[in-house]
Amino acid sequence: MENKMKAIKCPFCGSQAYNRYGKTKDGLQRYRCLVCNKQFTEKSKPNSIKRPSCPQCGQKMYVYMKTQKFIRWRCSRYPECSTYLKIALEEENNVVLPAQSEGAYSSPNPDN
């Protein structure tokens, strides 16, 4: 009897170095990549949302809050740079579009 293993690759970095990392609430096997430390399942797809750059300092921004209608991004230099972006989501295609009424914000007090 031949042991056939599936060729599982990390959907984020393409590495085949991973550990089993428990199960999801739906019972799927969860894995953790040993290269990029991201968690994934065999059905995982890489995140198609591109990270914006901070308009204040130029650094990468990270998701701070996500709802069905928008994503709020925070500067990776927080708390030194307190700039954030609120970007509306288009519901049909889940495409990220700039919010119409809101854009880049920073704290009125630069020391905060």
Kindly state whether residues 68 and 36 are assigned to the same domain.
no
Residue 69: the pLDDT is: 87
40 with 53, same domain: the answer is no
pLDDT of residue 49: 66
Q: For the residues 71-99, what does the mean pLDDT come to?
A: 73
Asked if residue 21 has pLDDT above 70, the reply is yes
Contact 40, 21 (CB under 8 A): no
Return the pLDDT at 43: 86
Among 8-12, 15-19, 31-35, the range scoring the smallest mean pLDDT is 8-12
Domain that includes residue 32, residue range: 8-46
Q: Is residue 2 part of a domain?
A: no
What's the domain count of the chain? 2
**Same domain membership, residue 80 and residue 54:** yes
Q: Is the pTM of this model over 0.75?
A: no
Residue with the larger pLDDT of the pair 56 and 109 = 56
Distance, C-alpha 88 to centroid of its chain: 16
Phi-psi region of 37 (alpha: psi -120 to 50; beta: other; left: phi over 0): left
Assess whether 26 and 65 both reside in one domain: no
> In this predicted structure, what is the pLDDT of residue 48?
63
Q: Are residues 99 and 54 part of one domain?
A: yes
Residue 90, in any domain of the structure: yes
State which of 17-26, 55-64, 68-77 shows the largest mean pLDDT. Answer: 17-26
Residues 35-43 have a mean pLDDT of 89
Strands (E) across the chain are located at 18-23, 29-33, 39-40, 61-66, 70-75, 84-90, 95-96, 104-105
